[in-house]
Amino acid sequence: MKRRSFIKKLSLAAVPFTLGGIPINVMAENAFTRMAQQSTNDRVLVILQMHGGNDGLNSIIPVSNYDLYYSRRANIAIPAKNSLRKMIMLDSTLPPEAQAGLHPDMIGMKDLYDRGRMCIVQGVSYKNNNGSHFRGRDISFMGGSFDDYLDSGWVGRYLQSEFAPQVYPNDFPNADMKDPLAIEMGSDVSLVFHQPGNIPTSISLNDPEGFARLVGELEGFTDQGVDPRGKPPAALDSSPYGRELNWILGLEDKSEDYANRLYEVYSRASTSSVTYPERYPFNAPTGSLRNPLTPQLQLIARLLDGGGDGVKTKVFLVKIGGFDTHAGQVESYDPTMGGHAALMYHISSAMKAFQDDLRARGLEDRVLTVTTSEFGRRIHSNGSYGTDHGTGGPIFIFGKGVQPGMVGTTPDLTQDNVEMQFDYRQVYANLLRDWMLVDETKINNDIFFGDFLNGPREEGPGNYQPLPLATQVISGVSERFVAERFSLGDSYPNPAREKVTIPFTINTTAQVELTLINTMGQRVRTLLHEEKEPGQHAAEATLDHLAPGTYLYQLKCGFYTETKKLIVLP
Residue-range domains of the chain with CATH: 26-182+276-479 (3.40.720), 486-568 (2.60.40.1930)
- Position 522 pLDDT exceeds 90: yes
Q: What is the mean pLDDT of residues 496-519?
A: 94
- What backbone phi and psi angles, to 5 degrees, belong to 428? -65, -40
Could you read off the pLDDT of 39-57 as tens digits, one per residue? 457 899 999 999 999 999 9
- The DSSP letter of residue 231 is P
Give the DSSP letter string of 497-552.
SSEEEEEEEESS-EEEEEEEE-TTS-EEEEEEEEEE-SEEEEEEEE-TTPPSEEEE
**Cα separations in angstroms, 348 against 108, 353, 468, 500:** 5, 9, 22, 40
Q: What confidence category does residue 101 fall into, taking pLDDT thresholds of 50, 70 and 90?
A: very high
Kindly report the number of other CB atoms within 10 A of residue 465's CB atom.
13
Number of alpha carbons in the 13 Å side-chain half-sphere of residue 173:
23
Could you read off the pLDDT of 319-338 as tens digits, one per residue? 999 999 999 999 999 999 99
DSSP 3-state of 361: coil
- Position 512 pLDDT exceeds 70: yes
Q: What confidence category does residue 452 fall into, taking pLDDT thresholds of 50, 70 and 90?
A: very high
**Cα separations in angstroms, 380 against 58, 326, 361, 373, 493:** 11, 12, 44, 19, 55
- Position 287 pLDDT exceeds 50: yes
| 150 contact partners, CB below 8 Å, separation of at least 6 | 142, 143, 144
Class of residue 234 by CB neighbours under 10 A (exposed 0-12, middle 13-18, buried 19+):
exposed
pLDDT of residue 487: 96
Contact 5, 222 (CB under 8 A): no
When the pLDDT of each residue in the chain is averaged and rounded to a whole number, the result is: 84
Could you read off the pLDDT of 233-247 as tens digits, one per residue? 666 666 776 666 665
pTM, rounded to two decimals: 0.87
pLDDT of residue 568: 96
**Dihedral, CA atoms, 183, 446, 455, 404, nearest 10 degrees?**
20
pLDDT of residue 384: 97
Could you read off the pLDDT of 68-77 as tens digits, one per residue? 999 999 999 9
Contact 412, 122 (CB under 8 A): no
pLDDT of residue 485: 95
Contact 3, 221 (CB under 8 A): yes
